[in-house]
Amino acid sequence: MADQEGTTDPSVVGGALFRPVRSGNTFEDTVARLLQTIRLGIVAPGSALPSERDLALRFSVSRDTVREAIRSLADAGFLVSRRGRYGGTFVSDTLPLGTLGITGIVQSTPTAADIDDVLGLREILELGAVGTATIRSLSAADRELLWSRLQETKEASIDDYRRLDSRFHLTIAELTGLPSLVSLIADNRMRVNELLNNIPLLAPNIDHSNEQHEAIVVAILTGDRERAVEAMREHLEGSAALLHGFLS
């Protein structure tokens, strides 16, 4: 998604995830924002981040803050720096698993209430997103993007599945034309993925998810809002059942 000069695919990212940091915790929030773009597949493994100067402008923070955030993520194994003509900061080909402790945040075992909170918000956000995307007038480029995201997810390896699955769902959010909704779904998706990382990827579930993804896409592209919302609801209920089964 990013070339060696550091440009990034604007379809989901532009103005939504690479947006200004707005709290007083500029270092922590910059780390979290960069992690979000990595974990959700906005910048793919092996691809370059935008330059430090560009990131500082997008996040509205100092270059020193960006540099410290990049250094911390490099120390944790998420980023690598390369020198030379095609140098820059790149996402690691293999991402670390588990909790990142550089911000001092320690994740505890989720309770049933935690799971309900994350998944309840997910349902509200994603059903709203798919319903809104379905009634919008989509351009040919929008339609091609959605179909390509579906195909990427269907062809993904197990190791890459969750990243591309995240990007598929963010693309639906982006088709609503509401950058604030993309941001909310991205934040929620990070919490969803933290839960999903605690359970195994099951081949039959991946096959079923891909079938549901296709039903969602067909409904969006044919303008069938009722079917799109119902297909997304069924899809989310499947994930919820697995999470509650393994973690509750």
Query: How large a percentage of the chain has pLDDT more than 90?
Result: 56
- The pLDDT tens digits for 140-181 are 999 999 999 999 999 999 888 998 999 999 999 999 999 999
Q: What rounded mean pLDDT belongs to the chain?
A: 86
Which residues, 6+ apart, have CB-to-CB distance to 196 below 8 Å? 162, 239, 243
Mean pLDDT of 103-118: 73
Q: In this structure, what DSSP letter does residue 136 have?
A: S
pLDDT at 42 (0 to 100)? 83
CA–CA separation, 171 and 41 (whole Å) = 11
- The pLDDT tens digits for 18-52 are 777 766 678 878 888 888 888 888 888 999 999 99
Residue ranges, comma separated, of all CATH 1.10.10.10 domains in the chain are 1-107
> In terms of pLDDT, which residue wins out, 6 or 21?
21
CA–CA separation, 198 and 233 (whole Å) = 22
Q: Of 220, 244, 246, 245, nearest to 120 (Cα)?
A: 244
CATH topology of domain 112-247: Four Helix Bundle (Hemerythrin (Met), subunit A) (1.20.120)
pLDDT at 83 (0 to 100)? 84
Residue ranges, comma separated, of all CATH 1.20.120.530 domains in the chain are 112-247
CATH number of 1-107: 1.10.10.10
pLDDT at 23 (0 to 100)? 65
Residue 7 reports pLDDT greater than 50: no
Residue 141's region, left for phi above 0, alpha for psi from -120 to 50, else beta, is alpha
Most trustworthy range by pLDDT among 14-28, 31-45, 89-103, 185-199:
185-199
- The pLDDT tens digits for 199-238 are 888 888 899 999 999 999 999 999 999 999 999 999 999 9
